[in-house]
Amino acid sequence: MPYPNNYFQPFYNPSPQSQGLPGKIVNDFNEIMANDVPMNGSYAFFIKGDLSEVQARAWSPDGRIVSVPFKAVLPVKTNNLPSETKQADLGLSEDVTKAFMEQFEELKERLSSIEENFSKQSTTRRKKEGDSE
């Protein structure tokens, strides 16, 4: 007489999985589709691949997707630079300023000469128009 297949299987209760934040990593925010944003009013977080920006997106009550951008701000530590480097940077900016000022002066001179030419031409035209009347 074969034994029936009556063996006891222990009850397996899977532990609840940890819930992560909804969202994904994208190269461009244009890759995000409407179905990537949860419809329960919670935010999904989309991270650019280069970590330069994060966007939180959620559906608003009027049926639109609201985006909240977060941009990365890198701290600038200038206190640790040697004084020579600071002076070199200042000198560079002074040189650049001087070059721009020279260009502006040259443009100013050109504009002045163009204005003079136009004023001479308009004076000549007025005289010719006055003579012909």
**Lowest mean pLDDT across 16-25, 46-55, 79-88:** 79-88
Statement: residue 43 has pLDDT above 90: yes
Average pLDDT over residues 118-130: 69
Region of poorest pLDDT, from 19-28, 36-45, 77-86: 77-86
Q: What is the mean pLDDT of residues 34-57?
A: 91
Angle at 124 between CA 119 and CA 130, to 5 degrees: 125
Side-chain-facing half-sphere of 118: CA atoms under 13 Å: 6
pLDDT recorded at residue 86: 53
Query: What local confidence, expressed as pLDDT, does residue 93 receive?
Result: 73
Mean pLDDT of 5-29: 71
pLDDT score for 121: 73
Candidates 3, 54, 52; CA nearest to 24 is 54
CA separation for the pair 85, 96 (Å, rounded): 16
pLDDT greater than 90 at residue 87: no
- Sign of the CA dihedral with 53 first, then 56, 60, and 65 last: positive
| DSSP, res 17 | P
Lowest mean pLDDT among 14-18, 20-24, 97-101, 127-131: 14-18
State residue 3's pLDDT score.
56
